[in-house]
């Protein structure tokens, strides 16, 4: 079933001339209702800060893993090279 991104609810509204009826009212999260930075509050800036923290944390973890992989690859190549040298030395005896 398809659900819209912002649910519409209906509430009693007044038009100002005494007429009362039902009108649509947005039921969003309340965060980032506007892309005008001057209207943002603590919640919006908190979400931006946490997102930036998580992004930098992820990049740091990726860098650590890549460094570990490179180190293991170099040490593995070094061991293979040493093993080959030892085999050649033993076959020459």
pLDDT in tens, 29-77: 678 778 888 888 898 899 999 999 999 898 888 888 888 888 888 888 8
Q: pLDDT at position 13, please?
A: 57
Q: pLDDT at position 53, please?
A: 93
pTM (2 d.p.): 0.44
Q: pLDDT at position 71, please?
A: 86
Domain residue spans of the chain:
8-92
Q: pLDDT at position 65, please?
A: 85
| 63 class by beta-carbon count within 10 Å (0-12 exposed, 13-18 middle, 19+ buried) | exposed
pLDDT in tens, 75-92: 888 888 999 989 888 887
d(CA 47, CA 55): 12
How far apart, in Å, are the Cα atoms of 32 and each of 6, 42, 44, 52, 76? Answer: 13, 11, 6, 16, 50
Q: pLDDT at position 47, please?
A: 92
């Amino acid at each position: 079933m398809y659900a819209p991104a912002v649910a519409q609810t209906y509430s009693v509204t007044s038009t100002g001339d005494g007429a009362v009826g039902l009108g649509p009212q947005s039921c969003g999260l309340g965060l980032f209702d506007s892309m005008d930075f001057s209207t943002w509050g603590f919640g919006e800036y908190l979400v931006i800060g946490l997102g930036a923290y998580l992004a930098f944390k992820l990049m740091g973890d990726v860098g650590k893993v890549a460094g570990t992989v490179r180190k293991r690859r170099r040490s593995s190549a070094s061991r293979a090279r040493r093993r080959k040298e030892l085999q050649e030395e033993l076959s020459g005896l």
